[in-house]
Structure 1
Amino acid sequence: MSNVGLLYVGAVLFVNGLMLLGKVEGKSAGVFNLFVGSLQVITPIYVIISNPHDSWTILQASGTFLFGFTYLYVGINNLCDLDATGFGWYSLWVSIMAVGYSIVTFIHFNDYKFGIIWLMWSFLWFLFFRLLALNKDIGRFTGWVTMIQSWLTATIPAFLSLIGVWTQVSALVISAVTAAVVVSFIILYFSTKTIKKKHSSLDVSAT
Structure 2
Amino acid sequence: MGTVGLLYVGAVLFLNGLMLVGAVEPRSAAPLNLFVGALQVLTPTLLIVAAGGDERLILAAAGLYLFGFTYLYVGINLLAGLDSTGVGWFSLFVAVAALGFSYANFQIFGDPAFGVIWLYWAFLWSLFFLLLGLKLESLQRYTGWVTIIQGWVTAAIPSLLMLTGNWRNPTAIAWGLAIGGVVVFLALLPLARPRRGARRAPEPTPTVPAAAG
Corresponding residue for residue 155 of structure 1: 156
1:148-204 C-alpha deviation (Å, 9 max, x unpaired): 0001000100000000010x24523431342122111112112441xx34x259xxx
SS in 2 for 1:164: coil
Larger Rg: 1
**More helix per residue:** 1
The answer to whether 1:45 aligns with 2:39 is no
For residues 89-128 of structure 1, the aligned pairs below 5 Å read 89-128=89-128
**Map of 1:17 onto structure 2:** 17
Structure 2 CA distance for aligned equivalents of residues 183 and 160 of structure 1 = 23
Q: Is the 8 A contact 2:111 2:170 kept in 1?
A: no
| TM-score of the aligned structures, taking structure 2 as reference length | 0.88
Alpha-carbon distance, 1:113 to partner: 0.2
Are 2:145 and 1:144 equivalent residues in the alignment?
yes
Output aligned runs, 1:1-207, within 5 Å.
2-137=2-137, 138-166=139-167, 168-169=168-169, 171-193=171-193, 196-197=194-195, 199-200=196-197
| C-alpha displacement of 1:140 | 0.4
Residue identity opposite 1:5 in structure 2: G
Q: Which has the higher contact order (CA 8 A, sep 6+)?
A: 2
Change (3 A) 1:46 1:145: same
Q: CA RMSD in A?
A: 1.5
Q: Compute the TM-score of the two structures, normalised by the length of structure 1.
A: 0.90
**Structure 1: which amino acid aligns with 2:187?**
I
CA distance in 1, matches of 2:186, 2:163: 32
Inter-partner Cα distance in structure 2 for 1:170 and 1:53: 27
- Superposed displacement of residue 53, structure 1: 1.2
Gaps of 5+ in 1: 202-207
Q: In 2, distance between residues paired with 1:191 and 1:88?
A: 20
Unaligned 5+ runs, structure 2:
199-213
CA distance in 2, matches of 1:191, 1:33: 26
